[in-house]
Homo-oligomer: A and B are copies of this chain.
Amino acid sequence: MNFHIRAATKQDCKDVVRMIMELALFEKMSDQVKISREELERDGFCQNPAFGCLIAEVPEENKSKEGLTTVGYALYFSTYSTWKGRSMDLEDLYVMPEFRGFGIGKSLLSAVAKVTKEEACARLQLGVLDWNTPSRDFYAARGAQDLTVSEGWHLIRFDGANLDNLANDASKI
Protein backbone atom coordinates (compact mmCIF):
# COMPACT_ATOMS: atom_id res chain seq x y z
CA MET A 1 0.00 0.00 0.00
CA ASN A 2 1.40 3.38 -0.99
CA PHE A 3 0.98 6.16 1.52
CA HIS A 4 2.44 9.53 2.26
CA ILE A 5 3.03 11.39 5.57
CA ARG A 6 2.77 15.18 5.46
CA ALA A 7 2.07 18.14 7.75
CA ALA A 8 -1.64 18.87 8.18
CA THR A 9 -3.13 22.06 6.77
CA LYS A 10 -6.21 23.95 7.89
CA GLN A 11 -8.13 22.13 5.14
CA ASP A 12 -7.45 18.80 6.85
CA CYS A 13 -9.35 19.75 10.03
CA LYS A 14 -12.60 18.24 8.76
CA ASP A 15 -10.86 14.86 8.34
CA VAL A 16 -8.98 15.23 11.62
CA VAL A 17 -12.22 15.85 13.55
CA ARG A 18 -13.75 12.79 11.87
CA MET A 19 -10.78 10.64 12.93
CA ILE A 20 -10.69 12.13 16.47
CA MET A 21 -14.26 10.84 16.82
CA GLU A 22 -13.39 7.44 15.32
CA LEU A 23 -10.52 7.07 17.83
CA ALA A 24 -12.73 8.16 20.75
CA LEU A 25 -15.37 5.61 19.68
CA PHE A 26 -12.69 2.90 19.71
CA GLU A 27 -11.63 4.12 23.18
CA LYS A 28 -15.30 3.98 24.28
CA MET A 29 -15.24 7.63 25.34
CA SER A 30 -16.87 9.42 22.41
CA ASP A 31 -19.24 11.19 24.84
CA GLN A 32 -16.20 13.18 26.03
CA VAL A 33 -15.49 14.72 22.61
CA LYS A 34 -16.48 18.40 22.51
CA ILE A 35 -13.99 19.69 19.93
CA SER A 36 -15.19 21.28 16.69
CA ARG A 37 -13.53 21.71 13.32
CA GLU A 38 -13.54 25.48 13.91
CA GLU A 39 -11.67 25.12 17.22
CA LEU A 40 -9.04 22.87 15.65
CA GLU A 41 -8.59 25.33 12.79
CA ARG A 42 -8.27 28.26 15.21
CA ASP A 43 -5.95 26.54 17.71
CA GLY A 44 -3.65 24.67 15.34
CA PHE A 45 -3.27 27.03 12.41
CA CYS A 46 -2.48 30.43 13.92
CA GLN A 47 0.56 32.51 14.92
CA ASN A 48 1.44 30.31 17.92
CA PRO A 49 -0.23 26.97 17.20
CA ALA A 50 -1.23 24.91 20.24
CA PHE A 51 -0.31 21.66 18.46
CA GLY A 52 1.27 20.13 15.39
CA CYS A 53 -0.46 17.52 13.25
CA LEU A 54 0.73 15.01 10.67
CA ILE A 55 -1.56 13.34 8.13
CA ALA A 56 -1.29 9.95 6.45
CA GLU A 57 -2.68 10.02 2.94
CA VAL A 58 -3.18 7.27 0.36
CA PRO A 59 -3.41 7.75 -3.41
CA GLU A 60 -6.85 7.97 -5.03
CA GLU A 61 -6.65 4.35 -6.25
CA ASN A 62 -6.34 3.13 -2.65
CA LYS A 63 -9.15 5.27 -1.20
CA SER A 64 -11.41 3.83 1.51
CA LYS A 65 -14.80 2.34 0.76
CA GLU A 66 -16.31 5.73 1.70
CA GLY A 67 -13.99 7.44 -0.80
CA LEU A 68 -11.56 8.86 1.80
CA THR A 69 -7.84 9.33 1.14
CA THR A 70 -6.89 10.88 4.53
CA VAL A 71 -6.59 7.70 6.57
CA GLY A 72 -4.53 8.51 9.66
CA TYR A 73 -3.15 11.32 11.80
CA ALA A 74 -0.79 12.09 14.65
CA LEU A 75 -1.35 15.15 16.83
CA TYR A 76 1.37 16.37 19.21
CA PHE A 77 2.51 19.40 21.18
CA SER A 78 5.56 20.46 23.15
CA THR A 79 5.56 20.29 26.95
CA TYR A 80 8.18 20.81 29.64
CA SER A 81 9.93 18.54 32.10
CA THR A 82 11.56 20.05 35.17
CA TRP A 83 13.98 17.12 35.03
CA LYS A 84 14.87 17.07 31.31
CA GLY A 85 13.69 20.38 29.80
CA ARG A 86 11.75 20.50 26.56
CA SER A 87 9.61 17.44 25.94
CA MET A 88 6.92 16.31 23.48
CA ASP A 89 3.49 14.77 24.04
CA LEU A 90 1.78 12.62 21.43
CA GLU A 91 -1.90 13.29 22.06
CA ASP A 92 -3.29 10.99 19.35
CA LEU A 93 -2.01 8.43 16.87
CA TYR A 94 -4.68 6.87 14.68
CA VAL A 95 -4.97 4.84 11.48
CA MET A 96 -8.36 3.83 10.06
CA PRO A 97 -8.98 0.09 10.62
CA GLU A 98 -8.94 -0.90 6.93
CA PHE A 99 -5.52 0.74 6.49
CA ARG A 100 -3.79 -1.00 9.40
CA GLY A 101 -0.95 -3.47 8.86
CA PHE A 102 0.84 -1.43 6.18
CA GLY A 103 3.24 0.46 8.47
CA ILE A 104 1.29 3.71 8.45
CA GLY A 105 1.11 3.96 12.26
CA LYS A 106 4.82 3.24 12.56
CA SER A 107 5.60 5.91 9.96
CA LEU A 108 3.44 8.47 11.76
CA LEU A 109 5.15 7.63 15.07
CA SER A 110 8.61 7.86 13.49
CA ALA A 111 7.74 11.19 11.90
CA VAL A 112 6.66 12.58 15.29
CA ALA A 113 9.90 11.24 16.83
CA LYS A 114 11.83 13.10 14.13
CA VAL A 115 10.02 16.37 14.96
CA THR A 116 10.71 15.67 18.66
CA LYS A 117 14.46 15.44 17.98
CA GLU A 118 14.43 18.43 15.62
CA GLU A 119 12.79 20.52 18.34
CA ALA A 120 15.49 19.40 20.80
CA CYS A 121 13.02 17.58 23.06
CA ALA A 122 14.53 14.90 25.28
CA ARG A 123 11.51 12.63 25.26
CA LEU A 124 8.18 11.75 23.68
CA GLN A 125 5.30 10.79 25.96
CA LEU A 126 1.76 9.56 25.45
CA GLY A 127 -1.17 7.99 27.26
CA VAL A 128 -2.66 4.61 26.44
CA LEU A 129 -5.59 2.72 27.96
CA ASP A 130 -4.97 -0.33 30.10
CA TRP A 131 -7.15 -2.66 27.97
CA ASN A 132 -5.74 -1.40 24.64
CA THR A 133 -3.26 -4.26 24.31
CA PRO A 134 -2.52 -3.77 20.59
CA SER A 135 -1.39 -0.18 21.24
CA ARG A 136 0.55 -1.06 24.39
CA ASP A 137 2.33 -3.84 22.46
CA PHE A 138 2.96 -1.49 19.51
CA TYR A 139 4.77 1.03 21.74
CA ALA A 140 6.55 -1.60 23.85
CA ALA A 141 7.90 -3.32 20.72
CA ARG A 142 9.60 -0.02 19.84
CA GLY A 143 11.25 0.28 23.23
CA ALA A 144 8.83 2.56 25.06
CA GLN A 145 8.67 2.36 28.84
CA ASP A 146 5.31 2.06 30.59
CA LEU A 147 5.93 4.49 33.47
CA THR A 148 2.63 3.68 35.15
CA VAL A 149 3.88 0.09 35.51
CA SER A 150 7.59 0.76 36.14
CA GLU A 151 7.40 3.88 38.32
CA GLY A 152 3.76 4.06 39.42
CA TRP A 153 2.63 7.32 37.78
CA HIS A 154 -1.09 8.11 37.91
CA LEU A 155 -2.87 10.69 35.77
CA ILE A 156 -4.96 13.13 37.84
CA ARG A 157 -7.52 15.58 36.44
CA PHE A 158 -9.45 18.61 37.63
CA ASP A 159 -12.25 19.82 35.38
CA GLY A 160 -15.79 21.17 35.50
CA ALA A 161 -17.02 22.27 38.93
CA ASN A 162 -13.86 21.05 40.71
CA LEU A 163 -11.68 23.28 38.59
CA ASP A 164 -14.08 26.20 39.02
CA ASN A 165 -14.06 25.79 42.80
CA LEU A 166 -10.27 25.74 42.95
CA ALA A 167 -10.02 28.84 40.77
CA ASN A 168 -12.64 30.64 42.88
CA ASP A 169 -10.63 29.88 46.03
CA ALA A 170 -7.71 31.74 44.47
CA SER A 171 -9.85 34.82 43.95
CA LYS A 172 -10.50 34.89 47.71
CA ILE A 173 -6.81 34.92 48.66
A interface residue numbers (CB < 8 A to B)? 5, 20, 23-24, 29, 32-35, 39, 43, 48, 50-51, 75, 77-86, 89, 91-92, 106-107, 109-111, 113-114, 116-117, 122-131, 136, 139, 142-149, 151-159, 161-167, 169-171, 173
Once the chains are docked, how many angstroms separate the CA of A35 from the CA of B122? 11
Dominant SS among interface residues on chain A: mixed
Take A152-B131, A155-B147 as given contacts and tell me if A142 and B166 are in contact as well, using a CB distance cutoff of 8 Å.
Answer: yes
From residue A8, how far is it (CB to closest CB) to chain B in Å?
12
Contact of A113 among B77, B153, B163 (CB under 8 A): B163
Once the chains are docked, how many angstroms separate the CA of A165 from the CA of B106? 12
From residue A53, how far is it (CB to closest CB) to chain B in Å?
9
Report yes or no: A153 in contact with B127, Cβ–Cβ below 8 A: yes
Report yes or no: A158 in contact with B113, Cβ–Cβ below 8 A: yes
Take A82-B75, A110-B167, A116-B167 as given contacts and tell me if A123 and B158 are in contact as well, using a CB distance cutoff of 8 Å.
Answer: yes
Report yes or no: A147 in contact with B158, Cβ–Cβ below 8 A: no
Report yes or no: B156 in contact with A107, Cβ–Cβ below 8 A: no
Inter-chain contacts of A24 with B (CB < 8 A): 83
Contact of A35 among B20, B82, B130 (CB under 8 A): B82
Inter-chain contacts of A5 with B (CB < 8 A): 173
